[in-house]
Amino acid sequence: MSISLKFPDGNVKSFDDDATVLTVAQSISPTLGKKAIAGKLDGQFVDLNAPLSHDGAIEIVTKDGDDGLAVLRNTAAFVLAAALADLNPKMRFGEAHADEDGFYVDTDQDGAQISVDELTAVKDKMKAIIAASDPIKSVSLSQADAAAKFGDDPYRSQLAQEAGDPIAAHQLGDFVGFQEGALLPDLKPLKHFALLSVAGAYWEGKSSNPMLQRIYGTAYYKEADLEADAQRRQEAKERDHRVIGRDLDLFFVDPKVGAGLPYWMPNGATIRRTIERYVIDREVAAGYEHVYTPVLANLDVYKTSGHWQHYREDMFPPMDMGEGEMLELRPMNCPSHIQIYKHHIRSYRDLPMRIAELGMMHRYEKSGALSGLQRVREMTLNDGHTFVALEQVQDEFKKILQLIMSVYADFNITDYTFRLSYRDPANTEKYFDDDEMWNRSQSMLKGAMDDLGLEYYEAEGEAAFYGPKLDIQTKTALGNDETMSTIQLDFMLPKQFELSYVGADGEEHRPVMIHRGIVGTMERFIAYLTEIYKGAFPTWLAPTQVVMIPVNNDAHLDYVNDVKAKLLAEGIRVKVDDRNEKMGYKIREAQTQKVPYTVVVGDDELASASVSVRRYGEQDSMSQSVNMFISAIAADVANYSRTDARANN
């Protein structure tokens, strides 16, 4: 008996049916045999010494690359579970997983769970296991054996039942566990690892199930990579919008009154209001008419639009109002804007018709997916829809894209790419089934991008269910890709809602609908800006733009209040710190709160009708006349603080 294996270069070779990944690697070259740590058969990880049971496509995995790192982290997760079991033989184990960010193990035990303070002892136990160099063995268990071994552990018992019969497992010492993927043949390479944190995680991700404790870690082959990862995580912590939002008193979320429902404090509300006013002004100047529409609509509207069929899992349950009326919290604003369009008979002279709204929407997000402002259940989208004649599509698309790029410039967003998102033609369940519509709309988007001479890449399967789109992918503060803005072509909804306009020929024609969001939702956009700016918002966005500090309240406060009145008259957001605290303390607090300008007034300033100005992040102050200072800060705001937006991060 033999098996046939196909290699990445296309060559096909036959091997004995007891061949392993190691013997296959050695047959290619002794060097590869030494470097091999695992394999992949038809895309599935296989242990180095595991027999290759059937024909298929083979890949040899070495330490280099993402697959090699996945095997290392998978092994680290298994060793972590073994160490925990040794420290507490009664501990129960849920899922263990490795990914591009590290690894984790879900655990449960009676009484108190593992605390962060105990992770050092757990790490020491892992090091002892690694130093002992006992091999990890592949074992096969029957369902009866598993039931006897894991009878006191409901999680491993369930995992065993789902694994089939016999069960493929791994054993290290007395510990037996289920670990998807391959493990290292020996533990020597597992030298550079860290245990990072603990958190709660529902069993199987369901809030109705028990809450387990998830222990996070990461591992690398090189110490330098582990150190770089620690620096990256520290930077992430310093830029975490949830931490900054708490420190600067921007927003809070209280699960007791509603998980995923942020409360905007005055500071955060000021930032949001400034952005909203800016966006509305830019859109009105670009020809958009702003509207307000209800957050509730009859469920039939979303059945007509297709959202109910394609998006039901992300929508809240309908509310039964009696007598057959079912109301739904809207997940999207487009059906609402369609109703605005339909309210009057439209002519070709009305097109393009541009409608915009800061529209509140609701998504049925699972509790475990919620995160600060980035993943919420209630959000406000900077939404807009343009209704155009077919021949106007490409010109309107270009105008929208140019508006978006202009807005990006004002926020100093420069690191972004363009992704044309197409349908997967084989997926007729997810995407509206109309080949002619898809081919026409996709070619229109591509033609517009080519006309503008902009570089882009194409992604099949990333389109909305009703049409292709241009996604503008930005880089977050930590270098991750995130969709900031979209422009979508839609031939489907105008057809579903029977939209029309009277053409120059006096006949009815079907418009094309263009969906677009310039900065996405207010929640996610402000989270993004908070992390990009590291909380040091540019002057035009800062909730407090100036803090004024009198050296002596009795001698200088009246003058400070006079200057404050002049700043307020110019629309500058200013506060006076007249608390009975030391001067140094007040200045440090203004810096901690990342206020762009700290102004100190003493005898010299009073005598010369001036102010002493210190910019955020700078050590030195400079003296300016009041009028000069007001002019300088007004210019800073008017220029959207472009030159200073990130200088001090």
Report DSSP letters for 538-555, one per residue: -TTT-S--EEEEES-HHH
CA atoms within 13 A on the CB side of 206: 4
Helix axes 393-410, 435-452, angle to 10 degrees: 50
Residues 6 or more apart whose CB falls under 8 angstroms from that of 63 comprise 35, 37, 72, 189, 221
Q: In the beta sheet, which residues pair with residue 481?
A: 475
Q: Report the 10 Å Cβ neighbour count for 572.
A: 20
Residues 6 or more apart whose CB falls under 8 angstroms from that of 294 comprise 330, 336
Contacts made by residues 477-480, CB under 8 angstroms, sequence distance 24+ = 477/235, 477/239, 477/528, 477/531, 477/532, 477/534, 478/232, 478/235, 478/236, 478/239, 478/531
Pairing verdict, β 12-16 and 622-625? unpaired
Report which secondary-structure segment, H or E, holds 140.
strand 137-141
Pairing verdict, β 211-220 and 102-108? antiparallel
Residues 6 or more apart whose CB falls under 8 angstroms from that of 302 comprise 308, 311, 315, 328, 330, 331, 335
Q: How far apart are CA 589 and CA 576, in angstroms?
A: 13
Tell whether 290 is in a known binding site. Answer: no
Exposed/middle/buried for residue 476 (C-beta within 10 Å: 0-12, 13-18, 19+): middle
3-state helix, strand, coil in the chain (%, to 5): 40, 30, 35
Q: How far apart are CA 582 and CA 587, in angstroms?
A: 9
The alpha carbon torsion through 421, 423, 424, 428 (nearest 10 deg) reads: 160
Give the Å distances, CA to CA, from 363 to 145, 252, 321: 45, 19, 20
Is the CB of residue 530 less than 8 Å from the CB of residue 538?
Answer: no
Q: How far apart are CA 510 and CA 81, in angstroms?
A: 62
Helix (H, G, I), strand (E, B) or coil at 537: coil
Q: Could you tell me where the DSSP H helices lie in 286-392?
A: 299-305, 307-311, 334-342
Q: How far apart are CA 408 and CA 410, in angstroms?
A: 5
Q: In the beta sheet, which residues pair with residue 385?
A: 355, 515
Give the Å distances, CA to CA, from 102 to 190, 198, 219, 226: 13, 13, 7, 11
Which tokens is 252 given?
């809070």
Tell whether 343 is in a known binding site. Answer: no
Q: In the beta sheet, which residues pair with residue 105?
A: 96, 215
Q: How far apart are CA 77 and CA 94, in angstroms?
A: 12
Tell whether 334 is in a known binding site. Answer: yes
Q: How far apart are CA 589 and CA 592, in angstroms?
A: 5
Pairing verdict, β 597-601 and 546-550? parallel
Q: Which amino acids are annotated as binding site, given as ranges? A: 334, 385, 515
Q: Which amino acids are annotated as binding site for Zn(2+), given as ranges? A: 334, 385, 515
